[in-house]
Amino acid sequence: MNITDVIIRKFKIEDYDNLIELWNETDLPYKPKGRDRKEKIANELNSSNAVFLVAELKNEIIGSIFGTHDGRKGWINRLAVSPKYRKKGLAQKLIEEIEKHLNNNGIEIIACLIEEWNNSSMKLFEKAGYIHHPEVHYFTKRSNPDV
């Protein structure tokens, strides 16, 4: 694969089943009854503070990334690259593209949450210029376990 052959484009809801296949292939945890259900993602696509991109090669979705912002800070979520196409610069390209979208919306701080066991993602984001903050403790309150 040559990175120049990959098309990075906005996700369309018609891509949903292929996206879920990618997430399954990459073991990306997702909540099909909650935040990652088709209807929920379709609503987010219409939001002015969210952008969902996919990487496509020969009509196959081989990567994904989701960016959101609250007007002050941006967040990178759901970065996934098919194992067949890793170590070729695609994840870095997806990060750069989502950063452009967020920067174009006036967002100057971009963050991501990475689970402690995910060393490869930590290395990737450090290489991309992100700073690890081990002193931060993440708390959530969920209306139900599927969100």
Please provide residue 66's backbone torsions phi and psi, each rounded to the nearest 5 degrees. -130, 130
pLDDT value of residue 20: 96
Eight-class DSSP state of 143: S
Q: What is the pTM of this model?
A: 0.92
The percentage of residues in the chain with a pLDDT greater than 70, rounded to a whole number, is: 99
- Tens-place pLDDT, residues 25-63: 999 988 888 889 999 999 988 888 999 999 999 999 999
Domain ranges within the chain, ordered by starting residue? 3-127
pLDDT at 40: 92
Query: Which is nearest to 3 in space by CA: 87, 100, 99, 88?
Result: 88
* pLDDT for the residue 126: 96
**Residue 138's pLDDT band (boundaries 50, 70, 90)?**
confident
Of the candidate CATH numbers 3.30.540.10, 3.40.630.30, 3.10.20.30, 3.30.450.20, the domain formed by 3-127 belongs to 3.40.630.30
Q: Give me the residues paired with residue 59 across strands.
A: none
- pLDDT at 3 (0 to 100): 76
Output the pLDDT for position 30: 86
Q: How confident is the model at residue 128 (pLDDT cuts 50, 70, 90)?
A: very high
